[in-house]
Structure 1
């Protein structure tokens, strides 16, 4: 059976014909043949960017790469009009499958070339599949018999594939097992294994962090079909990336867009990300990105959106931010309503904020919320389901290494289908409780010095300690200035860095579930390397027995 461990995840509304071709091939080909359904690729920059969704890509170690274009229904080629059309739909014209598959193959080649594969030595083929009908070849010059799989091919798919592949020619050679695996990973986002040094492993992992997977594409289908969508996903599944994608999509189409979240640091990150995304498109909407609530494409935190006022002296901050400020948010404060509202980290605001945001939408406007209930650090328990038409769950982790994801599973449900592969092992450093805060910063600085990380690649974060507690603008300036970030788990929500040193500075009386939620949120901020600093005795007192057992006293191989 083919697939080599590649699980097919199908977009909603997938043509049954695509599934038939995939499933029939899967049963017919050797176990080392990789079948990659619904592969979406984007190559190029700015105005030269090209996108394609290949229905199926076959990666065969004994041969090479074959791109399959699948057409469902009955169809035929009309030589008189030189076009393809349906038989059953009064001759309705359909897109030229040969042109489609040739374009897909060209983009696949370009993608692999950019990924530094020797494309001139790889055998590439294309084929058109029409599994719902029999179809005679329209001619050697257009679609030769060996490049056509009609309904008759379903009974002998192994032979059909062999005829399509033929023999490698033109200086090409069979790709072999190692290159087949590397190509499959490049097309699906899975990383090539790193090298022994941690710095090299981090660099290799960072090169494989990709921004578009099958799950993400499925959600984009939901965006086009529904007005109000809730996207749930564990840390690392790409929620923030999708928030930027949907905001860029609608802003580039001329809509008035609001992108908002709870924390000022994340809002800054989102604003910079959306500006970069629109600039990459070459969209004029890039000039409209602002933190001014009355602007055209607004990206700001909720408090600033509502006027940014600080609570009066003596006021309860929680009551102020969760009950008073939402009441101040209205279309009058934002210069009118928005066509599209995008809320990232939607588990943070309470229900009053959601009601206030709903009041900022035009009639029939679109609403997109992105949430991870495991990161609800503030206990707001918003009723998100009441605000959406459809919810979608992300199931792939494209940020964290397998090692980081495995560590985080002790504290929450983390997707361990890590598309970007392996990285360094998680390092545990045992220190006395009163040294955790200072030691965390020391280790982060030492890693920068010894392993050569840039300041903007590293974060030193704690569960509670926050040097910027009374100066959130200082944290934003630290981040924007490319410095090593120093803050706590809550303030760094939604953010990430390649390397994170996490100090487990416990506070007495914290419920175990809340403690686990904090550790989960903090640990998953690391993309490629994680160092955890804690006092094992204190961990046992907090009933974190498994984590305490993972620790050992510092050794020469431990940072610092």
Structure 2
């Protein structure tokens, strides 16, 4: 199936047909393209084919899917589909036009279609249309499929339609398919590759990626509503899945507070994000930007030991900071406090320190918090939101649901594998039709060759090397750090929170890259047995990619991720 998942917002008939085809026995070697956009449509400015099923040695079937529970023809010839208003546009016409659009395109791509039956049909997935609709000269009876075909055997119905269509072409076209009927394996692969990777790209992918920064710097309605909410409440918690613009809102909130002549802090948890925020917010008067731990190191005058343990960061340093802040009274308290990644800081004794960094404390101070409590709290599994509400009784909450970062196909994979509920309601950026890729490896094997191939594929797809980031859940023993491949060792560089030099690919742990993103991300070393808190790490890693995503996953982990048995 291309893509290997069906978006949750797809019509019910398309979802059910997708599942039926994906699970049907005897379909090895088939390719089913779902929701194929048609930029060069024969009739419209643009169009779409619900399904294009490529069956080696049988043909290609273009399917228009109708999910309505009732279907009829009115006396005046118009179609009445469910509760929709009557329409004069026949679904068979829609399917036919999609078929001829695809045919014209493939011919321009110099694909030989002479022995290939290219057939169209309409599938009424929720109605017994074969008995409800009388015979008509507008279609052949074999072009009409319905709910019984779906529940009985979807693959058998496809083969039946292709066979009938081939027989029809033989009676109409002299000398049609004198030898083997249908595309061979090589032609089938060429058709699938040509359609999915090129046919639906009406905009050059590189241009879409380069437009991303401009898109993100202009706020959308949901974010304007969030900013208004910010002005109406003294303390607000903004929550939402990864990619909903929380960091951008935190930065804008800091600028607005500073513009009013107030002093304050913009803090986060991750070191690389802290460096990025410090660079982006440099020059904002009255604002101190850093990570939480960098700020308390500054306040206490301490230096972190070279081999500092978790105990130093989680207990020793925070306890010393609390004592110091209590001694100084309110001299370190600022007018406002803004915290990004608050899900990783909503625990003791960190909240005690935050309470002392803002005038009026967390209970009565100007406090704006941004966090993702769905999957990104990878350092503490306890209920951070409940702790915040206990500390801030009047805390208002605003939910962000509009994905501003990821293309729809990446966001759909995130929702599928992370079980986000309700997940993203909308996507801001137009999709460009390229699916994330998933590659399996054997546990313990070297992934260097697969990593090098993934980088080359992205480079051939117009990604600059400095747009690519390689992420792993492993620290010190990831593929990127330990590879002996000469080319990889030449181009790989550790991520440091700033833009990579041209011709270099950054690498990092998933933990360290949390809060950041990149146009193209390759995830490596994804093995459930090797990574504690695997689901949360997978979610964070997947959501770092804005435009391109490649995933190298251990084979049993990959099987389990997509619902199989490990």
Q: CA shift at 1:465, angstroms?
A: 4.0
Match of 2:319 in 1: 327
Alignment of 1:63-82 (within 5 A): none
Within the candidate set 278, 297, 303, 2:293 is matched to 303
Question: 1:217 deviation in Å?
Answer: 1.4
The 8 Å contact of residues 335 and 359 in structure 2, kept in 1 or not, is answered as: yes
With over 3 angstroms needed to count, the CA separation of the structure-2 counterparts of 1:248 and 1:333, relative to structure 1, is: farther
Equivalent residue, structure 2, for 1:366: 366
Q: CA deviation at 1:252?
A: 1.9
1:422 match: secondary structure: coil
After TM superposition, the structure 1 = structure 2 runs for residues 23-102 of structure 1, keeping only pairs within 5 Å, are: none
Q: Closer, same or farther in 2 for the Cα pair 1:399/1:547, shift >3 Å? A: farther
Could you tell me how far apart the structure 2 residues matched to 1:545 and 1:529 are?
20
CA distance in 1, matches of 2:551, 2:329: 44
Who is 1:258 aligned against? Answer: 265
How many Å separate the matches in 1 of 2:498 and 2:564? 31
Q: In the TM superposition, what is the alpha-carbon distance from 1:477 to its structure 2 partner? A: 6.2
The DSSP-based 3-state class of the residue aligned with 2:231 is: helix
Structure 1 gaps of 5+ residues are 6-192, 276-285, 289-295, 550-560
The farther-off stretch of 449-458 and 356-365 is 449-458
Partner of 1:523: 542
Q: Distance in 1 between matches of 2:246 and 2:467?
A: 21
* 1:214 alignment partner, one of 213, 217, 221: 221
**In structure 2, distance between residues paired with 1:325 and 1:437:** 39
Correspondence for 1:318: 310
Residue 476 (1) aligns with residue 493 (2): no
Distance between the aligned counterparts of 1:307 and 1:437, measured in 2?
A: 39
Question: Are the aligned partners of 1:405 and 1:416 in contact in 2 as well (CA < 8 Å)?
Answer: no
Q: Does 1:422 align with 2:423?
A: no
The answer for the alignment partner of 2:526 in structure 1 is 505
Residue 341 of structure 2 aligns with which residue? 345
**SS of alignment partner, residue 351 of structure 1:** coil
Deviation at 1:327, TM superposition (A): 2.2
- Return 5+ residue gaps in structure 2 as ranges: 1-8, 10-199, 482-492
Report the Cα offset of residue 334 of structure 1. Answer: 10
CA deviations on 1:130-160 (whole Å, 9 max, x unpaired) are xxxxxxxxxxxxxxxxxxxxxxxxxxxxxxx
| Residues in 2 aligned to 1:370 and 1:273: alpha-carbon distance in whole angstroms | 18
* Equivalenced residues, count: 334
Distance 1:453 1:341, change over 3 A: same
Q: 1:299 to 1:369 in 2, by over 3 A?
A: same
Q: Tell me the residue number matched to 1:492.
A: 513
Match of 1:438 among 441, 448, 452: 448
Matched, 1:454 2:464: yes
Please say which of residues 389-398 and 360-369 is displaced more in the overlay.
360-369
Report the CA distance shift for 1:310/1:265 in structure 2 as closer, same or farther (over 3 A): same
User: Would the aligned equivalents of 1:202 and 1:529 in 2 still touch at CA under 8 Å?
Assistant: no
* Structure 2 contact 414–543 (Cα < 8 Å) conserved: yes
| Conserved 8 A contact 1:499-1:527 | yes
SS at match of 2:335: strand
Kindly indicate whether residue 244 of structure 2 is the aligned counterpart of residue 237 of structure 1: yes
- Tell me the distance in 1 between the aligned counterparts of 2:307 and 2:212: 48
Q: How many Å separate the matches in 1 of 2:500 and 2:266?
A: 19
Matched, 1:271 2:263: no
Q: TM-score if structure 1 supplies the norm length?
A: 0.53
The alignment's C-alpha RMSD in Å is 3.4
TM-score (norm 2): 0.53
User: What is the SS of the residue equivalent to 1:425?
Assistant: coil
Over 3 Å counting, the alpha-carbon distance change for 1:367 and 1:501 in structure 2 is: same
Q: How big is the shift at 1:493? A: 0.5
Does the CA contact (< 8 Å) of 1:345 and 1:372 recur in 2? yes
SS of equivalent to 1:322: helix
Hey, what does 1:386 align to over in structure 2?
Answer: 390
Conserved? CA contact 2:270–2:291, under 8 Å: yes
Q: Is contact 1:257–1:338 with CA below 8 Å preserved after alignment?
A: yes
Shift of 1:305: 0.8
The answer to whether the Cα contact below 8 Å between 1:230 and 1:385 also exists between their aligned partners in 2 is no
Task: Pick from 526, 537, 546 the counterpart of residue 563 of structure 2.
Answer: 546
Aligned to 2:351: 354
* 2:276 and 2:498 in contact (8 A); partners too: no
- For residues 64-105 of structure 1, the C-alpha deviation after alignment (integer angstroms, 9 at most, x for no partner) is xxxxxxxxxxxxxxxxxxxxxxxxxxxxxxxxxxxxxxxxxx
Secondary structure of 2:403's counterpart equals: coil
Distance 2:215 2:307 in 1: 49
**Counterpart contact for 1:233–1:239, Cα < 8 Å:** yes
Aligned to 2:62: none
CA contact (8 A) 1:444 1:458 kept: no
